[in-house]
Amino acid sequence: MAHAQLPVIPRPRSFGETMRKDWWWLQPAIVLLLLSSFVVYATWAAFQGEHYSYGPYLSPFYSPELFGNSPHAWFGPPPAWWPGWLVFSPALLILPFPGLFRLTCYYYRGAYYKAFWADPPACAVGEPRKQYCGEAAFPLIVQNIHRYFLYIALVFLVVLAHDVYKALWFTDPVTGHQSFGLGLGTLVLAANVILLGGYTLGCHSLRHVIGGYLDQLARRPVRRRLYDCSSRFNRAHMRWGWPSLFSVAFADLYVRMCSMGVWTDWRIL
């Protein structure tokens, strides 16, 4: 007598349950530690409102400095309309833009969904929620705004590159005369722009913008070449992402320490 096959319904895994034997928890734990440390440092630095410039150097957390008390400010001192109850810091006016660019990055989303929300903690590991809504519903659908932050990030990249150019011109404190030079701080700011450039040029959204529209690749050879170039950066997006995160924090720390007199800037030329 033939037996009817009953469907096998797998039992949902409970949170953290897995058959994996490797250290699957290590990567989310490292991401949690590194991203939390960065957010704590960046928030602290943004609220300081001082020691963000030193000679021709300007911290990338404060660039572009729209209003402020340093010679780098575009529109002069802090505006009168700034609410008195809120501490003024030039970083508060601009830092949300690069911050949201990174927060909505496709790579970082994958990393912090695992590390902060355990959703899921790793492949084939039980997660705490029963339903998966993905990014098709509010609030995560807002992540699709990433493309617009990319446009702003590209502008910031140009501004930071200009900061490196300005960091090549040192003013003599006695004569006030400006002369070409190269300090360790110039190299720190330049390395930061290179790393941020590698990260930004590999953005998924940039590939979509330059590579075509809808589901087609662009036919113009120039756009195809740009697409290939961006794809090369994109394949190493994670490897650009972390060093550029550290470099932007280190560049702020370097300028801050020099401004406070803790570190001495080494003049190479």
Q: HSE on the CB side for 143, CA within 13 Å?
A: 18
Establish if 203 lies at the interface with ligand FES (CB under 6 A). yes
Tell me how many residues contact ligand FES (CB under 6 A): 9
- Give the residue, chosen from 57, 61, 107, 227, that forms a contact with ligand FES under the rule CB under 6 A: 107
Please classify residue 143 by burial: count the beta carbons closer than 10 Å to its beta carbon, then call 0-12 exposed, 13-18 middle and 19+ buried: middle
Closest of 202, 203, 25, 32 to residue 112, by C-alpha: 32
Residues 6+ apart with CB under 8 A from 78: 67, 68, 69, 88
Quick one: which segment of 2-10, 16-24, 35-43, 197-205 binds ligand FES (CB under 6 A)?
197-205
**Kindly report the CA angle at 108 between 231 and 121, in degrees rounded to 5?**
125
Tell me if residue 212 falls in helix, strand or coil. strand
| CA atoms of 136 and 260, how far apart (whole Å) | 48
Please report, for the chain, how many H helices and E strands are present, in that order: 9, 6
**224 contributes a contact to ligand FES by CB under 6 A:** no
Using the minimum distance from each CB to ligand FES, give the nearer residue, 178 or 231.
Answer: 231
Q: Which stretch binds ligand FES (CB under 6 A): 34-42, 91-99, 166-174, 202-210?
A: 202-210
User: Does position 242 bind ligand FES by CB under 6 A?
Assistant: no
205 makes contact with ligand FES (CB under 6 A): yes
Q: Is 95 in the site for ligand FES (CB under 6 A)?
A: no
Q: Quote the least distance from Cβ 34 to ligand FES, whole Å.
A: 16
Candidate segments 68-76, 87-95, 99-107, 208-216, binder of ligand FES by CB under 6 A: 99-107
Nearest approach in angstroms of CB 146 to ligand FES is 6
106 touches ligand FES (CB under 6 A): yes
Q: Which is nearer to ligand FES, 200 or 259 (CB)?
A: 200
Tokens representing 247 are 């470099």
- Selected binder of ligand FES within 105, 188, 195, 248 (CB under 6 A): 105
Check residue 237 for interaction with ligand FES (CB under 6 A). yes
Judge whether 200 and 153 are in contact, CB under 8 Å.
yes
Contacting ligand FES within 137-176 (CB under 6 A): 146, 150
By CB under 6 A, tell whether 248 contacts ligand FES: no
Least CB distance to ligand FES at residue 150 (A): 6
The DSSP 8-state label assigned to residue 13 in this structure reads P
Estimate the crossing angle of helix 184-201 against helix 146-166, to 10 degrees: 160
- Length of the chain counted residue by residue: 269
Residue 204 near ligand FES by CB under 6 A: yes
Question: How far is C-alpha 133 from the geometric centre of its chain's CA atoms?
Answer: 26
Token pair 């700011």 is at which residue?
Answer: 189
Which residues sit at the interface with ligand FES, rule CB under 6 A? Answer: 105-107, 146, 150, 203-205, 237
